Amino acid sequence: MASASEIARLSKTVASHLRGFVARLSVAQRIALAALIALVIMVSETEGPYRRGEGRRQPMIVFAHGASGGVSGEDSPAFKKLMSEGNNFIVKGRSSYRDAIAKFTEAVSLVPDSIKALAARCEIYFMLKDWDEALKDCNTVLKRDPQHRKALETRGKLLASAGDLTEAAKDHLSLVKVFGIAKNAKKQAEHRASADRLRLLGAQWTDIRSQLHQHNVKGSSTTGSDVQQRLQVARQCTHVLRAIITEFSKDNVKLRLQRAECAVQARDHSAVSEETKFIHMKEPNNLEAIVISAKAFRNLGAMDRARADVKRCLSLDPEYTLCVQLHKSLKAYQKHVDQIEADIKEKKWELVLGHIAECFNMESDPPNIEQLWRWKCEAFLALRKPAEGIEACTESIHIEGGGDNNSPSIIDSLLRRADLHILNDDLGKAEADVKKAGEINGNHEKVREYNQKIENLKQQASRKDYYKILGVPKTASESDIRRQYRKLARKLHPDITRNKEMSDAQREKEDARYRDINEAKEVLLNPEKRQRFDSGEDVSKPQGQGGGQHHAFHHGGFPFNFGGGGGGGGGGFQFHFG
């Protein structure tokens, strides 16, 4: 009788041959074989003689696992051959990767639960950037072996590339444990650092997305503080997405589109160009990227380029909603801008304000919002409305400066606001605005002129104040001045006072007042003299000898002259970015 060791050896030999035989069968044949027969190897001997009270010897039953296509099938020659052929195709280069996938797929069909074949195919799918298929295989492998190193590494990259940074960080933390077991401290440190970075960027991106959503839900205001808040969030979005894309998601078109959209809102035109160029190289007919490019050109004032992009977009898909909407808004916006320029030329300031309001109604964040606020500031100054004008100029300063109170782009708006403070009889605030403009650029020509103007106005206190003489505010229109003059003239005219009983001194005083109101009328109803007076000059002296140089043209009877700030029209609409 054979010994136990001989029987065990024989059992292993038979089982090995049986597994090889079963591996060559189709799946259907293996199922049939498993249903019909279970190979039972009887072990007739146990360790030592019968034990007392145990009765008959007990058989040990061993089932051939290969009969159901189990893990042991990876040891079959057929499986090994397929894996070897797949690896050989990988060595040949990228052009043979699809052939390698075909071989690994055959291996999976031969041994459906083969971790080795699934992991190999996952890696090749990843190299071919077939993200969905790669993720399916990695998930299957990790479901069977949660600590499979290669699958964890590949899935971590897949999730990060897709922008799912939090889940990617979890895989890197799992790898920290895997390499801890392997006692590889260097790899542990690398994956711990990657996990920390992914969690940091993931948290930042989650917060930014929440802020972007809040702005979209509550709508957008055109006030300076809200514009600055949106601008800040857009800049953060552009910055954080650049880090995510550069470090983890280079080929993620969706994230690049989001970054380009944020860059448009942040007025970061180099970032817009960077992302749209990349997307156009990968997907030349990506409609969303074309729309973003058109918006960027519109914000730059390159209306022809913007219209060209929209035309191309509509040629690819005439019903694409974003293109259709942008096409309509471009036409409507340009119509209002053309009308604003025409109205500025003709000094129709109320109409200018009406068209500016229409531009803001069209979009919460209209193109070149800086120019619209400059025009608004200018219009209220021309209309001599200090309260509204100071508010508009202040918004212009906030938006043009972009949070930088020392930006040269805000000088013109500061000086306009100074004029409005003068209209409001607040020389102290006017002087503060001029001083701030001087701190930004002390050599600026208009700053020097306004410093002289402030000095003239201080000296004017010892001279006649024609506004007080007539009893009208500095914001008075010509019709207001005429009306008030006529009212006073009816009281002070010599033909009237001659018939009143009064002393000679009183009569002389009334005559002097009559001469003063006539003098005031002559100055304030003469646009040139009025602007000289408003500039602090002594209009009783010849021009140029009135206590200061004449330095400004006028709009609507009040002096200001600003080059490049969107003044009185001419030369077509130009965008300005300071």
Q: What is the pLDDT of residues 137-161, one digit of tens each?
A: 999 999 999 999 999 999 999 999 9
Answer whether 66's CB lies under 8 Å from 75's CB. no
> What phi and psi values does residue 183 have, to the nearest 5 degrees?
55, 45
For residue 511, CA distances in Å to 29, 91, 112, 396, 519 come to 128, 110, 115, 48, 12
Answer whether 90's CB lies under 8 Å from 96's CB. yes
When mean pLDDT is compared across 53-62, 195-204, 369-378, the lowest value belongs to: 53-62
Mean pLDDT, range 214-221, rounded to an integer? 60
Q: Cα(279)–Cα(27) distance, rounded to whole angstroms?
A: 46
Mean pLDDT, range 316-338, rounded to an integer? 91
Q: Cα(111)–Cα(75) distance, rounded to whole angstroms?
A: 10
Name 522's Cβ contacts closer than 8 Å, sequence gap at least 6.
529
Q: Tell me what pLDDT residue 391 has.
A: 93
Answer whether 212's CB lies under 8 Å from 186's CB. no
- b/e per residue 225-237 (b: at least 16 CB within 10 A): ebbeebbebbbbb
When mean pLDDT is compared across 181-190, 197-206, 438-447, the lowest value belongs to: 438-447
Answer whether 259's CB lies under 8 Å from 242's CB. yes
Q: Tell me what pLDDT residue 43 has.
A: 33
452 confidence band (pLDDT: 50, 70, 90): confident
Q: Tell me what pLDDT residue 449 has.
A: 87
Tell me the pLDDT of the chain averaged across its residues: 80
Q: Tell me what pLDDT residue 237 has.
A: 96
When mean pLDDT is compared across 115-124, 247-256, 540-549, the lowest value belongs to: 540-549
Q: Tell me what pLDDT residue 56 has.
A: 38
Largest CA distance in the chain: 160
Q: Tell me what pLDDT residue 232 has.
A: 87
More confident residue, 503 or 377: 377
Q: Tell me what pLDDT residue 572 has.
A: 39
Q: Tell me what pLDDT residue 19 has.
A: 59
pLDDT in tens, 476-492: 888 988 998 888 888 87
Q: Tell me what pLDDT residue 24 has.
A: 56
Q: Tell me what pLDDT residue 501 has.
A: 76
When mean pLDDT is compared across 91-95, 121-125, 176-180, 360-364, the lowest value belongs to: 360-364
More confident residue, 535 or 239: 239
